[in-house]
Amino acid sequence: MAIDTQEIISKTTELATIPSSLDNPNALCQAVDFVADFVAAHANVTIERFERNGITSFLAYKGSVRPDRFDILLNGHVDVVPAAPEQFVPYVRDGRLYGRGVLDMKGTVMALAAVFCEMVNEVPYVLGLEIVSDEENDGTNGVQYHIAQGVRADFAVMGEYVNHRDAIYNAARGHYWVEVTFKGKAAHGGYPWRGDNAIVKASTFANAILVKYPIPSEETWTTTATISSISTNNETYNKVPDNAVVMVDFRFVPEDEVFASEASLRKFISSIHPDAEVTGIASYGCSVYVDEENPYVKGLSKAMATTTDIQPRFMARYGSSDARHFANYGVFCVEFGLYGQNSHSEDEYVELASFEEYLMTMRTFLKNPLG
């Protein structure tokens, strides 16, 4: 039996009052429990709890034994970026629900939880629901931990919001956060020719990186590099610095061969400057891509078109989500959630009309996922 849309909106509003940001671990647990309690009220569903480094999450499925592999896994996160207290007081205006996390992504979490409860005992395949609480951090205590515990799927719908009503995101850039160190030779500032300035090397390197990957003037599907920091431990004016560190945030498209492996990235950095030494990779996330002809993607696309009269448009995501962890293990993922704007901002909102459209699409898809 279908759960009433207004009930889902009401549950979203209630969930959005919980200030579940990383700096509030009690609220993170409360938000996970809120969704788990909603799901547990439905028969023949197991709630498998996980906890790592104080971060909680759960996996829900039919029966008492976790399947070796899910055919379809619905994924959502209840953590949000920090916000002022008033942003955890949701309100409705002009057909929109405003508040921190209503779009990213507590509204979609409740919608996915609802369709999971409706469908899990009806469909002939293995369906799962995964709710985590650290996507806004790095996912290591949620999705990545689940993967380490053996969670696998053929296809995952990551319930990340959409900024276009007709969007299904089937691609996302990967990332490398790289620390590059330069050594030089110290000297008195009055005699710079006696030294070898490490900051000059670092600056030359940074400029060369931006020649290779110039900053786009508009949104475009390409690799970008952000020079996040150039630093040295030198604290005096009259000394040639003998060390410098550059921090670079690379966001790469799947087809860029520089990022095919860590070895190819290191080779590229060495080619930019002979003195560049990679001394740390703070974070890595692989790029995500699933072909539009993938049977599950075609099934989702058809469900959207037939239930809403909206012809889907396949788009690329410029940031990253927990899909990167699954993609590393060959799980096909798309990002598809409720429609709205201004995530992470003071006027974040979700369109109330998108609840019904999304629920219709997901019900149709789960009934016949291969179209």
Q: How far apart are CA 6 and CA 34, in angstroms?
A: 17
Q: Given the structure tokens 């699933």, which residue do they identify?
A: 290
Strands 224-231 and 243-252: antiparallel
For the chain, give the percent of residues with pLDDT over 70: 100
CA distance to 197, 199, 239, per residue, from 234 (Å): 11, 10, 8
Nearest to 10 by CA among 36, 38, 41: 38
Strands 313-317 and 167-172: parallel
Tokens of 231: 């630093």
Residue 172 contacts residue 319 (beta carbons within 8 Å): yes
Phi-psi region of 344 (alpha: psi -120 to 50; beta: other; left: phi over 0): left
> What is the C-alpha to C-alpha distance for residues 185 and 46, in angstroms, rounded to an integer?
63
Residues 161-196 as b or e (16 or more Cβ within 10 Å = b)? bbeeeebbbbbbbbbbbbbbbbebeebeeeeeeebb
pLDDT at residue number 357: 96
Residue 14 and residue 357 in contact, taking contact as beta carbons nearer than 8 Å: no
> What angle (nearest 5°) sits at the alpha carbon of residue 32, between those of residues 285 and 23?
65
Residues 296-344: tens digit of each pLDDT: 999 999 999 999 999 999 999 988 899 999 998 999 999 999 999 999 9
Domains defined along the chain, listed by start: 5-171+288-367 (3.40.630.10), 174-285 (3.30.70.360)
Tell me how far apart the alpha carbons of residues 318 and 250 are, in angstroms, rounded to a whole number.
Answer: 12
User: What is the rounded CA–CA span in Å between residue 81 and residue 309?
Assistant: 34
Q: What is the CA radius of gyration of the chain?
A: 23
Name the token pair of 14: 């209630």
Plot region of 309 (φ>0 → left; ψ -120 to 50 → alpha; else → beta): left
Q: Maximum CA pair distance of the chain?
A: 81
Please report the pLDDT score of residue 198 as a whole number. Answer: 98
How many CA atoms within 13 Å lie on the side-chain side of 152? Answer: 8
Rounded Cα distance between 282 and 60, Å, is 32
Give phi and psi for 369, each to the nearest 5. -65, -20
Closest CA to 98 of 346, 353, 354: 346
Structure confidence at residue 2 (pLDDT):
86
The per-residue pLDDT for range 37-96, each reduced to its tens digit, is 999 998 889 999 999 999 999 999 999 999 999 999 999 999 999 999 999 999 999 999
In order along its 371 residues, the chain shows pLDDT tens digits of: 789 999 999 999 999 999 999 999 999 999 999 999 999 998 889 999 999 999 999 999 999 999 999 999 999 999 999 999 999 999 999 999 999 999 999 999 999 999 999 999 999 999 999 999 999 988 999 999 999 999 999 999 999 999 999 999 999 999 999 999 999 999 999 999 999 999 999 999 999 999 999 999 998 999 999 999 999 999 999 999 999 999 999 999 999 999 999 999 999 999 999 999 999 999 898 999 999 999 999 999 999 999 999 999 999 998 889 999 999 899 999 999 999 999 999 999 999 999 999 999 999 999 999 97
- State residue 318's pLDDT score: 87
45 phi and psi, to 5 degrees? -125, 130
What's the N-to-C CA distance of the chain in angstroms? 22
105's tokens: 């992504």
